[in-house]
Amino acid sequence: MELWYNDNMVKFGRILKSLSGFYYIKDKSDGQVYQTRARGNFRQKGTKPIVGDFAEFSIAEQSEGYVLSIKARDNFLVRPPIANINQAVVVMSAIEPNFSLNLLDRFLVLLTNKGIKPLIYLSKLDLLDDLSYFETVQADYQKIGYQFFTDWHEILKEFPDKVTVFMGQTGVGKSTLLNKIAPEMSLATQEISYKLGRGRHTTRHVELFEINGGLIADTPGFSSLDYEIADQPELNGAFPEISAYSFGCKFRECTHTHEPKCAVKPAVASGNILSSRYDNYLLFLTEIQGKRETYKKVVKKC
Ligand SMILES: Nc1nc2c(ncn2[C@@H]2O[C@H](COP(=O)(O)OP(=O)(O)OP(=O)(O)O)[C@@H](O)[C@H]2O)c(=O)[nH]1
Ligand SMILES: [Zn+2]
């Protein structure tokens, strides 16, 4: 079939791939993928289109298209740069590297804060004889509302109509899992890396692949975590169970540390809130406060 279109026709779609300065946009109505570039005005405005963005673009016969504007984002990640994400598979290994509740809570706080649903995948359980610790962890976190997976077939069922990213510490098994879920995807990524002469995770190529009725990112997300939580109320909101109990605190701005008539602390004492979760909340709170102090110092100096 021959494609034809009028000069400067304006179209709308989602950016599925970014590579060497080009954006590949899938048009919402005709389902075709168009190669486009971003005009200089994006650089001036300080925004750059990223994969996952919904964009208005123009196409002209015999030339490449141009991104005209992007829709406001629901959320986005910086590493890898992807916008409008629905959910993230957080890969946590039982061993090698060792499982850490602190790291899990960091991922959950970051994702919950951005409105991205976490799906926790436990890898390397086959290397353990005794699974009782992980059964307890699963039961505890399921009570808070988080979903666990140990079988990749079950993860696949969560994909339809969603944009999914993968994340986890180095060595937990992200590539192994992605290879099982979408072997064709890892092959395509390797080919591009080879052509660009760069390593697999060092390419600036980001792509969303259509897998089982959804879109999934080929580039695993941050192994180091730098969440952008501004203050205590935001942190409070990123711990669903602490947030739920905090409605009973006497003070609306209660930090659940020293205030009288706090409803969170008794819930920790009675075991309704996991003490490890409360400890991580306190730790993250200290980190946020530390960051704000540094910021104040910097501002004063200037
Ligand atoms: N026994 C066992 N080994 C696994 C499992 N998943 C991954 N591995 C092994 O763990 C090692 C690391 O796995 P990768 O998939 O490369 O880990 P990754 O998270 O992609 O690591 P980076 O690329 O460094 O971010 C490899 O030797 C895998 O074979 C699992 O479920 N069970
Ligand atoms: Zn409180």
- 118 C-beta neighbours (distance < 10 Å), count: 21
Question: HEC states along 224-285?
Answer: CCCCCCCCHHHHHHCCHHHHHHHCCCCCCCCCCCCCCCCCHHHHHHCCCCCHHHHHHHHHHH
Q: What is the pLDDT of residues 125-165, one digit of tens each?
A: 999 999 999 999 999 999 999 999 999 999 999 999 999 99
pLDDT at 223 over 90: no
Contact between 32 and 26 (Cβ < 8 Å): yes
- Residue 153's Cβ-side half-sphere holds a number of Cα atoms within 13 Å equal to 0
Q: Give residue 2's pLDDT band: very low, low, confident or very high (50, 70, 90).
A: very low
Instruction: Return d(Cα 192, Cα 20) in angstroms, integer.
Output: 11
Domain boundaries for CATH 2.40.50.140 within the chain: 9-70
As to burial, measured by CB atoms within 10 angstroms (0-12 exposed, 13-18 middle, 19+ buried), residue 107 is buried
Q: Give residue 277's pLDDT band: very low, low, confident or very high (50, 70, 90).
A: very high
Residue range 229-236: average pLDDT?
92
| Ligand 1 atom closest to residue 177's alpha carbon, by position in its atom list | 15
**Amino acid occupying residue 139:** A
> Using a 6 Å cutoff on CB, does residue 176 contact ligand 1?
yes
DSSP code of residue 96? T
> Using a 6 Å cutoff on CB, does residue 274 contact ligand 1?
no
Contact between 24 and 34 (Cβ < 8 Å): yes
Q: How far is the CA of 80 from the centre of ligand 2 (A)?
A: 36
> Considering only CA atoms, which residue is closest to atom 32 of ligand 1?
124
Candidates 91, 24, 92, 85; CA nearest to 59 is: 24
> Considering only CA atoms, which residue is closest to atom 9 of ligand 1?
173
| Residue % of the chain over a pLDDT of 90 | 69
- 172 C-beta neighbours (distance < 10 Å), count: 25
Q: Give residue 85's pLDDT band: very low, low, confident or very high (50, 70, 90).
A: very high
Instruction: Return d(Cα 1, Cα 133) in angstroms, integer.
Output: 59
Q: Is the peptide bond before 183 cis (omega within 30 degrees of 0)?
A: no
The ligand with the least distance to the CA atom of 89 is: 1
Q: Would you identify the CATH topology of the domain 76-217? A: Rossmann fold (3.40.50)
Q: How far is the CA of 110 from the centre of ligand 2 (A)?
A: 21
pTM for the full predicted model: 0.89
Q: What is the pLDDT of residues 168-216, one digit of tens each?
A: 988 999 989 999 998 877 666 566 666 666 555 555 678 999 999 999 9
DSSP code of residue 154? H
> Using a 6 Å cutoff on CB, does residue 123 contact ligand 1?
yes
The ligand with the least distance to the CA atom of 169 is: 1
Residue range 220-244: average pLDDT?
83
DSSP code of residue 1? -
Domain boundaries for CATH 3.40.50.300 within the chain: 76-217
No. of helices (H) and no. of strands (E), the chain: 10, 13
pLDDT at 44 over 70: no
Q: Which one of 2.60.40.10, 1.10.40.50, 3.40.190.10, 3.40.350.10 gives the CATH number of domain 232-301?
A: 1.10.40.50
Candidates 241, 222, 26; CA nearest to 140 is: 241
The CATH number assigned to the domain with range 9-70 reads 2.40.50.140
Domain boundaries for CATH 1.10.40.50 within the chain: 232-301
